[in-house]
Amino acid sequence: MARALDDAALYRRIEDFMIRYVHCVDDDRLEAWPDFFAERCLYKIVSRENHDRGLPLGVMECDSRGMLKDRIASLRRANVYEPQTYRHQISALEVERLDGQRFKCRSNYLVVRTMADGAMSLFSTGRYLDRLVAEGDDFLIEERLVVFESRQIETLLVIPL
């Protein structure tokens, strides 16, 4: 990254934003998940394989808050999958200021998926590559690229990362 953010308070607020995001997903408050994003945004989950080879395909790609809401509505009402929960661990947050309002961030994530029968697995690990925009005291995600490390997705992915 070009230059780390030297404003500790600002860094702490961005870190807090990242923490609230993963708690929202892990606590199954998914209806609130689209609110972390700007109205026009990009949320894309892409394998490191495709990302590194310059291939544009993602396993999930939404370019509006409406599409994020549709994902959640479909997950709640249309899609069929076994009950499961995530627990995210996030770390190694780097923040770089792009302009007065925007920040480029990257961080690592690790998600353990737990199924209804108790089976737990290391479901996904990778990095978040983000662009945030300040919105009052808070932030909104303009872009979140979730680059997952393994090229495989075991069985299916329904809950966002």
Partner 1 sequence: MERGADVISWPPEGVTRVPYAVFSDPALYRLEQERIFRGPTWHFLALEVELPETGSFKTTRIGDNAVIVVRDETGAINAMVNRCAHKGAMLCFEPCGKREHFTCVYHSWTYDLQGGLKTVAFRRGINGRGGMPDDFDQADHGLERLRVERLHGLVFATFSPQAPPLAEYLGPEMVANIERLFDRPIELLGYHHQPMGNNWKLYAENVRDPYHATLLHTFFGTFRLNTLTMDGGITIGRGGWHHISYSKMATERQKGEYDGLRSVVQDFGLADPSLIASRPERNDGITLAIQSIFPTCIVQQISNSLAVRWLVPLGPDRCELHWALFGYRDDDPAMRAMRLKQANLIGPAGLVSMEDGLVGELVMRGVAGDGSATSVIEMGGRDVASTENSRATETSVRGFWHGYRALMDL
Residues interacting with partner 1, by CB under 8 A? 45-47, 49-50, 53, 55-67, 69-71, 73-74, 77-82, 151-158
- Report in angstroms how near the CB of residue 137 gets to partner 1 at its nearest: 27
- Report in angstroms how near the CB of residue 79 gets to partner 1 at its nearest: 6
Q: Which is nearer to partner 1, 3 or 77 (CB)?
A: 77
- Report in angstroms how near the CB of residue 145 gets to partner 1 at its nearest: 14
SS3 35: helix
Distances (CA, A) of 70 to 67, 129, 147: 5, 23, 22
Q: 20-43 as b/e, with b when 16 or more CB fall inside 10 Å?
A: ebbebbeeeebeebbebbbeebbb
Closest CA to 14 of 123, 138, 101: 138
- Report in angstroms how near the CB of residue 17 gets to partner 1 at its nearest: 24
Q: Which two tokens stand for residue 136?
A: 């009052």
Q: What Rg do the C-alpha atoms of the chain give, in angstroms?
A: 16
